[in-house]
């Protein structure tokens, strides 16, 4: 035996997170794409490959659920508290529809997908609120409990055909210890792209500071918060259209603030005080409602990021570089203001207007306003300027106070600023809620002149609140992919002897080799629709449409090239026992014909006329949401003699009510 005299090498201890992907960048640099098969596979194929390579299956006590886990380490959190062992666990739960007892999807029904056939499987993507541990998934009481748990940080559900719904996102305000809502949304968006998800809807009932955030965000940004990741108008309640949504957002965003100051009053209103205060501390002109709300929300975001001091220094330095006044002019005005404050003493607060008036001869009004905004934190002779917002008058006030770190040589200098633009969070939130209730909330909106402007604002706010359903289309990006080695065909289907109310399912992506024939296309189309939908369990594609009497041996590439659309005709053999799975809307029938223009279920509360059985919104019938529907109800036409409801069309019956709204 040979000895080299050296001690044995000690193995390095391996970190738990060493082999985990970064939650914040997963799939950005191609991570997971190869694991998902490729860009050229439909959702169900990409998911199978992804799970086989990345996930581990965990036991489940529910016969209708299969569960997998994928752990991610949480990387750079922009200075937020974390540790190298901080992980997020994604649970992928496969729900077997036929075993779960939940046949239909209410979310599909209210976003225009009610005609889709019921899929074999639904896949739930969940990050639990306690996912910082690597413990196994605790089985819930069936798929319903999985879907309704409000504590999940992320819950998305995708049907086997690639159409899905983002059900829940809970960031730090919703109980997340490490991840913000933006972190979670970024992960979800990348995951959907990687897995070739086709379309995803979201029902936006999010609240921020107790306010309807979809209304605030539409005014400040022109789209909902989910629009930051490409979600666009999907379906409006009460017959609101995409154009109406855009016009309403533009109307409120561009609403000028000047008219609130044009009417003479004996005394200033609280609304005028609040608007004037934020105008006085903003370095930019606040001319519209969007300017005002965006400025207030920016202040709140700065507080949440814990970057108040650094942000203020950056703003101050930029302002000094860009301001058009000479340094001597600024110093002259500041010295004059300091003399006024010294004369007032440290026990007296000087109002903003009073201080500006006292030095009005030292420079133009713009220069005085600039110096007033920068006075907070200035020091002279051992005293520092403190600024506060008077809670009763909403006017900025100034005074000198003792400060140990202030300059003592009689020269005005800078210390850590204390400007009113950095008020407490509670103060700013209080003002935001006041402005929301006074100018945006239809139920509490102030009466102001001109009355026509107030009515337009009221109508616009109602329209924005009535738009909760938004959708992101991933299919467009997917179809831009060019692969010279495969043929990509979007294949639609038409059934022989189809029912009068038959609705064709969405086209399925068929991926074929470049040598594939029409016979191969039929085989793959048969397989694709059988895999996706229960009602197509025994489907058989028989004929290729739109190309005449083409032979089965014809190369598909000669017909559609490398990317194209085709339709096949076929039949479902012996599917009579599966008819309840024909559409997500179910088998019940009802008729919607509301005075607002709605002709389909939009998720809002409805009631039916006891004479003609036509459904309409309770709100449109004059019944408040807090009131119970009357035991007997007759619509306007029936109570006036009954004209019937000839222009209505039938849609599926089902539970109504806006979940979470």
Please write the tens of the pLDDT for every residue from 256-313: 998 888 765 557 788 988 998 888 888 888 999 999 999 999 988 887 765 434 433 4
pLDDT of residue 473: 94
Q: Reduced to 3 states, what is the DSSP secondary structure of residue 387?
A: strand
Question: Are the C-beta atoms of 231 and 508 separated by less than 8 Å?
Answer: no
HSE, CB side, 13 Å, CA atoms: give it for residue 597: 6
The sign of the CA dihedral 319, 322, 323, 325 is: positive
Q: Is the peptide bond preceding residue 450 cis, with omega within 30 degrees of 0?
A: yes
Please give the pLDDT value at position 7: 46
- Please tell me the class of the 482-581 domain: alpha beta
Which residues in the chain come in under a pLDDT of 50?
1-18, 29-30, 32-37, 79, 81-82, 84, 131-140, 307-322, 405-422, 642-661
Element (H, E) at 313: helix 308-322
pLDDT at 502: 78
Query: What pLDDT score does 82 carry?
Result: 47
DSSP-assigned states of every residue in 425-460? HHHHHHHHHHHHHHHT-TTTPPP-SSHHHHHHHHHH
**Is the CATH number 3.30.40.10 carried by domain 588-661?**
yes
C-alpha dihedral sign at 235, 239, 243, 247: negative
Candidates 567, 418, 446, 449; CA nearest to 504 is 567
Nearest CA to 109 out of 151, 159, 152, 65 is that of 159
What is the 3-state composition of the chain as percent helix, strand, coil, each rounded to the nearest 5? 35, 20, 45
Domain with CATH 3.30.40.10 in the chain: 588-661
pLDDT at 291: 96
Q: Yes or no: say if 407 and 338 are a contact pair by the CB < 8 Å rule.
A: no
The three-state (H, E, C) secondary structure of 605-627, written as one string: CEEECCCCCEEEECCCCCCCCCC
CB 618 within 8 A of CB 602: no
Task: Please tell me the predicted confidence (pLDDT) of residue 368.
Answer: 85
Confidence at residue 148, expressed as pLDDT on a 0 to 100 scale: 74
pLDDT value for 120: 96
Concatenate the DSSP letters of all residues of 164-219 into one string.
EEEEEE--GGGT-SS--HHHHHHHHHHHHHHTT--EEEEE---EETTEEHHHHHHH
**pLDDT, position 287:** 94
Residue-level pLDDT at 585: 87
Q: At what angle do helices 242-253 and 289-304 cross, to 10 degrees?
A: 90
The answer to whether the beta carbons of residues 448 and 455 sit under 8 Å apart is no
CA distances from 163 to 90, 509, 573, 624 (A): 20, 13, 26, 34
pLDDT on residue 389: 76
Looking at the chain, the domain(s) classified CATH 3.10.20.90 span 482-581
Residue 79 CA to chain centroid, in angstroms?
A: 24
The model scores a pTM over 0.75: yes
Q: Report the residue count for the chain.
A: 661
pLDDT at 138: 47
pLDDT number for residue 263: 62
Report how far residue 70's alpha carbon sits from residue 191's, in angstroms, rounded to the nearest whole number: 12
For residue 590, the model assigns a pLDDT of 76
The half-sphere exposure of 100 on its side-chain side, counting CA atoms within 13 A, is: 25
Rg (CA), the chain: 32
Cα atoms found within 13 Å of the Cα of residue 109, Cβ hemisphere only: 23
User: What is the rounded CA–CA span in Å between residue 338 and residue 349?
Assistant: 13
């Amino acid at each position: 035996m040979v000895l080299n005299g050296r001690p044995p090498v000690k193995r390095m201890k391996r970190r738990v997170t060493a082999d985990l992907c970064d939650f914040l960048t997963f799939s950005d640099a191609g991570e997971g794409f190869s694991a998902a098969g490729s860009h050229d596979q439909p959702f169900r194929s990409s998911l199978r490959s992804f799970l086989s390579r990345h996930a581990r299956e965990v036991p489940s006590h529910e016969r209708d659920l299969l569960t997998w886990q994928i752990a991610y380490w949480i990387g750079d959190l922009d200075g937020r508290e974390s540790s190298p062992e901080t992980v997020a666990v994604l649970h992928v739960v496969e729900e077997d529809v036929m075993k779960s007892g939940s046949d239909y999807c209410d979310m599909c029904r209210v976003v225009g997908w009610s005609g889709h056939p019921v899929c074999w499987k639904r896949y739930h993507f969940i990050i639990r609120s306690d996912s910082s541990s690597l413990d196994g998934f605790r089985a819930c009481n069936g798929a319903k409990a999985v879907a309704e748990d409000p504590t999940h940080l992320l819950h998305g559900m995708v049907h086997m055909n690639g159409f899905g719904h983002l059900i829940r996102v809970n960031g730090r305000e919703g109980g997340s210890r490490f991840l913000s809502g933006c972190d979670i949304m970024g992960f979800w968006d990348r995951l959907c792209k990687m897995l070739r998800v086709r379309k995803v809807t979201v029902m936006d009932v999010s609240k921020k500071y107790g306010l309807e955030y979809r209304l605030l965000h539409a005014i400040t940004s022109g789209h909902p918060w989910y629009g930051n990741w490409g979600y666009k108008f999907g379906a409006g309640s009460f017959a609101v259209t995409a154009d109406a949504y855009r016009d309403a957002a533009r109307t409120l965003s561009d609403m000028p603030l000047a008219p609130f100051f044009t009417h003479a009053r004996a005394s200033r209103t609280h609304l005028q005080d609040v608007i004037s205060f934020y105008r006085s501390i903003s370095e930019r002109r606040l001319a519209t409602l969007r300017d005002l709300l965006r400025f207030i929300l920016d202040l709140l975001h700065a507080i949440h990021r814990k970057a108040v001091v650094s942000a203020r220094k950056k703003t101050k330095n930029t302002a000094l570089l860009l301001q058009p006044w000479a340094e001597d002019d600024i110093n002259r005005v500041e010295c004059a203001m300091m003399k006024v404050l010294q004369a007032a003493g440290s026990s007296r607060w000087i109002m903003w207007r009073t201080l500006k008036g006292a030095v009005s001869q030292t420079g133009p009004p713009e220069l005085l306003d600039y110096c007033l905004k920068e006075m907070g934190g200035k020091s002279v002779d051992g005293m520092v300027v403190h600024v506060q917002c008077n809670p009763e008058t909403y006017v900025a006030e100034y005074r000198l106070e003792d400060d140990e770190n202030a300059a003592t040589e009689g020269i005005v200098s800078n210390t850590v600023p204390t400007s009113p633009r950095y008020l407490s969070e509670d103060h700013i939130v209080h003002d935001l809620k006041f402005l929301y209730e006074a100018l945006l909330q239809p139920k509490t909106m102030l009466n102001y002149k001109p009355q026509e402007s107030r009515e337009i604002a009221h109508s616009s706010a109602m329209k924005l609140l009535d738009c909760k359903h938004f959708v992101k289309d991933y299919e467009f990006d997917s179809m831009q992919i060019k692969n010279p080695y495969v043929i990509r065909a979007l294949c639609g289907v038409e059934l022989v002897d189809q029912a009068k109310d038959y609705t064709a399912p969405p086209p399925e992506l068929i991926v074929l080799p470049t040598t594939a024939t029409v016979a191969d296309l039929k085989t793959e189309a048969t397989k694709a629709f059988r895999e996706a939908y229960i009602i197509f369990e025994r489907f058989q594609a028989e004929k290729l449409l739109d190309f005449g009497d083409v032979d089965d041996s014809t190369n598909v590439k000669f017909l559609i090239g490398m990317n194209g659309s085709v339709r096949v005709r076929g039949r479902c053999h012996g599917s009579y026992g599966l008819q309840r799975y024909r559409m997500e809307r179910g088998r019940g029938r009802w008729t919607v014909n509301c005075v607002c223009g709605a002709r389909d279920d939009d998720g809002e509360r409805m009631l039916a006329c006891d004479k003609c059985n036509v459904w309409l919104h309770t709100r449109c019938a004059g019944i408040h949401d807090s009131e119970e529907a009357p035991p007997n109800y007759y619509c306007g036409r029936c109570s006036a003699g009954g004209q019937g409801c000839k222009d209505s069309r039938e849609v599926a019956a089902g539970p109504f009510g806006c979940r979470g709204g």
